[in-house]
Structure 1
Amino acid sequence: MRTKKNLKRYFYRLSKIALLAGIVLLGFSSCNKADDRQEEFSNELSKSDGTSESLLALTTPLSLLTDQNFQHGFHVLHPSTGVVQGSILYAGGGSSPKWNLSQWYSNSSLYGATPTLLSSGSYRFADSNKAITIGPASSTDRDIIFAINGQNEFGDTYRTSSQPFPHLIIDQRIADPDGWLGSATPFIGALDSLNFQIDAYLDYHARNQKAGYNSAIHALQFSCVFLVQNLNPSSAGYGKSMYFLIMLFDDRYSLPGFSINEDIFSGQLIYDVGLASFSTTGLVQGQWKTVKGDILSQIKQGLDEAWSRGYLLESQSYNDYKVSLFTMGFECTGLNIGTMKTRNLSLIAY
């Protein structure tokens, strides 16, 4: 379980990502259905009185993510400032990134890294502290590989509880006012289900434990985070949010479990259902695990919990909230070295 100090830093970074992740997409063939659905929803909005209750339920499945295979690369954010430094693209891939790549508090940046072509057909962008591997959908290394070296980042010396720690995470802004899907993103109250899937493969992990190790502040974690945000402009709580989190891997626990915390920086609720909500076993090095399920009821439970604890009281209606941001990746607070492969990422609203 994350300490409150670690959660504070992590979600402060996440809130900065939310502000920096406004990506406007150009039309391309794989997005035609989403574009059509966006137009349909926009037309419905123009007929409404401005309140979410007037919106119709979805009539066809809608993908809330685009470029799930990471064919268009990444906007690379500076490790300290979060300013976009440039792009990571692979030869033959798209040239208009749909995702951001954040590397908060790393001692180096992947921007400018020379890609290495692997025998699998993918390309590896690496420095001494971390790496990202992406490539064609036909690659045997699809879809994306994250690698981080905490031992190198920290100079083989354990951090104290007050020291920052490196992240290697990607994010995509979904909803209005600056997300790729914009106002076509449905309100939670309009959904019948929200199906999430990701296949995860722990390729390598070493804790490198030695004298000075403290399990309360030293770990390697890989999570998927959804920002659940009030996006009804007519609501007094417009813009306010909470975090819904799925912890796929935490080296301290064989099966990451359920936890509720408060981000003490922003005061927002963090509702972490862990991996235990989807499986009776955790990730095992060298084995693929499919994590999938309808997370709509869990998100609603998270909102219910927030309201019962005094959060987001300006609106206690599911009809005012959307999933506005998705992010996933590593945060490393110890001397750990880890590599995680993922594929088949999807988030489908019904």
Structure 2
Amino acid sequence: MSKKTYISLVGVFCLFLLASCAAEKLGNSEKTVNIFDDPDFSLGFIIYPTLHSEGAKEIGRLKFDPEPANPVWHLAQWSSRYDISLAKGEADEAKESYKYANEGKVVAKEYVDGEALLTLKVIGEMEYKDGTRKNGEAWPHLLIEQVMGDPQNVDSFSELMLNLDVRINDFEYLMTSDFDANLHAAQTTAYFGISNQNKESEGYSDFFWFGIPIFDSRFEYPPGGVIKDAGQPGASGALIYTPPGKEFLTKNMLDGEWETIHVDLIPYIQRAVEEGKQKGYLPKTSFEDLKITSFNLGWELPGTYNASLQIKNLELIGRIK
């Protein structure tokens, strides 16, 4: 066993003892759990293809550590012109800084003041170098995603706190006179895939997207909505529910400053079910049937923009009843 491995094992053991003591002090009624594995992205990413038709299969990996790792995060690049799996990484291992870039995107991780910082950038002027997106055409994505392996029922938590520091550190508006607000935008939303996992329910396998909107280039604050997932090949056709961004944001994200999002998802998911039912979705599903099965965050770029997003301190803390 190497010295590095031994130190790591000792560290894990100490953390285990601390966590056990903390749980003991809190008691079962106060037990909390971070739903996300590897919240600082140290294990890197499994990369998905650029084509939706190829499905969510592994075509490569982005490594953020010289040691072998099994990533729990995925990187989706649907409908992109340039495949990030072909990019050659740049690394400064002493500073734990890693960067992967090609003509159409940048994915980078570094530590700033001891905090892991992830950068996701889409270069729209290259993605749309042949012209502005037209109605019915797909658009490039750059999303981080995690699928929950053994999710708990949302109803088993008294509180489900999303904590996230986020900023748009670079943004260029490159649309021309053919801009159409119904077709063109740059958007980032923290999306949760939520499904009915109760096999005794008539609505078993019902699914919807619940989103915390962070940025939409067309608005000062992104609006809420109860809509159908549609508009491009591979869309799920499921309900998408997003509350108004002004309920979470304190400023317009284009100021380049950090925004801290701190929100309990429970009442919003309850609202999503109620409002979805009013629109004809989830007719045989109740709140008690639901589990969060996946999460994604990053860019969807149906318009011509160069857009960069930075993320740190990502948590989803569940307080168990």
The aligned amino acid for 1:61 is T
Unaligned runs of 5+ in 1: 1-27, 37-56
Partner of 1:228: 194
What is the alpha-carbon distance in structure 1 between the residues aligned to residue 146 and residue 101 of structure 2?
A: 22
* 1:292 to partner: Cα distance: 1.1
TM-score where L is the length of structure 2? 0.84
What is the alpha-carbon distance in structure 1 between the residues aligned to residue 67 and residue 58 of structure 2?
A: 20
CA contact (8 A) 1:247 1:256 kept: yes
Match of 1:62 among 33, 42, 47: 33
Q: Deviations over 1:289-323 (max 9, x none)?
A: 1011112101111011122332222232x221111
What is the alpha-carbon distance in structure 2 between the residues aligned to residue 338 and residue 246 of structure 1?
A: 19
Q: Deviations over 1:264-283 (max 9, x none)?
A: 55442211114211124221
Match of 1:126 among 74, 84, 101: 101
What is the alpha-carbon distance in structure 2 between the residues aligned to residue 220 and residue 59 of structure 1?
A: 40
* 1:139 to partner: Cα distance: 6.7
CA contact (8 A) 2:220 2:252 kept: yes
* 1:211 to partner: Cα distance: 2.4
The aligned amino acid for 1:127 is N
Distance 1:58 1:110, change over 3 A: farther
Q: Does structure 1 residue 187 correspond to structure 2 residue 153?
A: yes
Distance 1:334 1:94, change over 3 A: same
What is the alpha-carbon distance in structure 2 between the residues aligned to residue 259 and residue 299 of structure 1?
A: 13
Residue 346 of structure 1: SS of its match in structure 2? Answer: strand
The structure richer in strand per residue is 2
* 1:117 to partner: Cα distance: 2.9
Distance 1:220 1:58, change over 3 A: farther
Match of 1:325 among 289, 294, 303: 294
What is the alpha-carbon distance in structure 1 between the residues aligned to residue 132 and residue 237 of structure 2?
A: 28
Q: Does structure 1 residue 203 correspond to structure 2 residue 169?
A: yes
CA contact (8 A) 2:249 2:259 kept: no
What is the alpha-carbon distance in structure 2 between the residues aligned to residue 268 and residue 206 of structure 1?
A: 32
Unaligned runs of 5+ in 2: 1-10, 21-27
Distance 1:140 1:220, change over 3 A: farther
* 1:86 to partner: Cα distance: 1.9
CA contact (8 A) 1:193 1:295 kept: yes
Worse-superposed segment, 196-205 or 281-290: 281-290
Q: Does structure 1 residue 214 correspond to structure 2 residue 180?
A: yes
User: What's the % identity of the aligned pairs?
Assistant: 24
Residue 108 of structure 1: SS of its match in structure 2? Answer: coil
What is the alpha-carbon distance in structure 2 between the residues aligned to residue 224 and residue 248 of structure 1?
A: 7
Residue 284 of structure 1: SS of its match in structure 2? Answer: helix
CA contact (8 A) 2:226 2:276 kept: no
Worse-superposed segment, 260-269 or 305-314: 260-269
CA contact (8 A) 2:144 2:298 kept: yes
